[in-house]
Structure 1
Amino acid sequence: MEEKQTPFQAAVRPGLTIGLISVALTYVAYFVDSTMLASGWFGLVALVVFFVLIIYFGRQYRTELGGFMTFGTAFNFSFITMIISGLISLVGQILLFQVIDPALPGVLADQSLQNTLEIMERFGASADSMTPEQMDEIRNRTLDNFSMTGQVKNFGIGLIIYAIIALILGAILKKRDKSLDY
């Protein structure tokens, strides 16, 4: 009889796959137009791809388990998958921002500031209403997020977000065997 994988064992391959896809998307966006990395829609597309792939791999794992999976197993699978893919993405981003193109954080900080000003104008606020010190503060905070420490700190904060997403995915992926009800 074939031994079934634990959620951790089952999550390794999907985590590696999703992490590598995430790094590939980031690098493709960088090579096409690096300012895309600062756009909201790029993040949204990456998030949708992330969700779809985890659901796809989660359903495969559920099928491997016989078509049923508890919420706890689904949560563990999703959370571990996201941690592994997040670690791979973190390494890829550190390489991009610290080794390949150390000037890129400055470009993205400027683009993020520009995006913020455009959003303010859409809501009726004038960009002139901000002092140069406030704009420098926004730019510097954004720039800090791209430092090695900032990226590791953001990953730590991301773990909380991963847990919340894993709760949602656990609810989507779980399927109980109703034949066991009596």
Structure 2
Amino acid sequence: MEEQQSPFQAALKPGLTIGLVSVAITYLAYFINSSLLASGWFGLVALVVFFALIIYFGKQYRTEIGGFMSFGTAFNFSFITIIISGLVSLIGQILLFHVVDPALPGVLADETLKTTLEMMENFGANPDDLPADQMDEIRENTQNNFTIMGQIKNFGFGLIIYAIISLIVAAIIKKRDKSLDY
């Protein structure tokens, strides 16, 4: 009889795959136009691809273990997968921002500031009313998110979001064996 993989063991390969796909998408966007990395559309497309891959691999794992999976197993599988892919993505981004193009954080901070000012205008606020030192502070805080410590800190905060995503994915991929009901 073949021994079943634990959710952790089963999550390693999908986590690495999703992480590498995430890094590839990030680098592709960077090579096309680096300002895409600050775009909301880029984030939305990446999130859809991310969700689709996790659900795909989750259903594949469910099939491998007999076609049924409890919510707890589904949550463990998806959370571990997301953490592994997040670590791979973190390494890829650290390389991008500190080895490939160390000037990129400044470019993205400027782009984010520009987008923020445009959003303020859309809500009826006048961006010219912001003091220059406050605009510099926004830019500096945004740029600090791209430092190695900033990225690690964001990954830590991201664990909360990863858990929420895992709850949603687990609800989608779980499947109860109704033949066991009395």
TM-score band w.r.t. shorter chain: over 0.9
Partners of 1:78 and 1:125 in 2: CA distance: 41
Alignment of structure 1 residues 84-163 onto 2, 5 Å: 84-163=84-163
Shift of the alpha carbon at 1:130?
0.9
Partners of 2:138 and 2:175 in 1: CA distance: 45
User: Given the alignment of the two structures, is residue 23 of structure 1 paired with residue 23 of structure 2, yes or no?
Assistant: yes
Q: TM-score, normalised by structure 2?
A: 0.99
Shift of the alpha carbon at 1:129?
1.5
Shift of the alpha carbon at 1:34?
0.2
Paired position in structure 2 for 1:48: 48
Unaligned 5+ runs, structure 1: none
Unaligned 5+ runs, structure 2: none
Shift of the alpha carbon at 1:66?
1.0
Shift of the alpha carbon at 1:123?
1.0
Give the aligned residue type for 2:88.
I
Partners of 2:37 and 2:6 in 1: CA distance: 35
Partners of 1:168 and 1:127 in 2: CA distance: 38
Partners of 2:134 and 2:160 in 1: CA distance: 29
Paired position in structure 1 for 2:57: 57
Percent identity reads 75
Give the aligned residue type for 2:155.
F
- State the Cα deviation string for residues 101-149 of structure 1 (Å, max 9, x = none): 1000000000000000011111111111211111111101100000000
Paired position in structure 2 for 1:71: 71
Partners of 2:42 and 2:89 in 1: CA distance: 15
Alignment of structure 1 residues 3-18 onto 2, 5 Å: 3-18=3-18
Flag as ranges the 4+ runs of structure 1 deviating above 2 A: none
Give the aligned residue type for 2:126.
S
Partners of 2:129 and 2:164 in 1: CA distance: 37
- State the Cα deviation string for residues 135-167 of structure 1 (Å, max 9, x = none): 111101100000000000000111111111111
Give the aligned residue type for 2:13.
R
Shift of the alpha carbon at 1:177?
0.3
Partners of 2:8 and 2:174 in 1: CA distance: 16
Partners of 1:49 and 1:132 in 2: CA distance: 39
The count of corresponding residues between Structure 1 and Structure 2 is 182
Partners of 2:62 and 2:40 in 1: CA distance: 33
Instruction: Give the CA RMSD over aligned residues.
Output: 0.6
Shift of the alpha carbon at 1:86?
0.3
Paired position in structure 1 for 2:36: 36
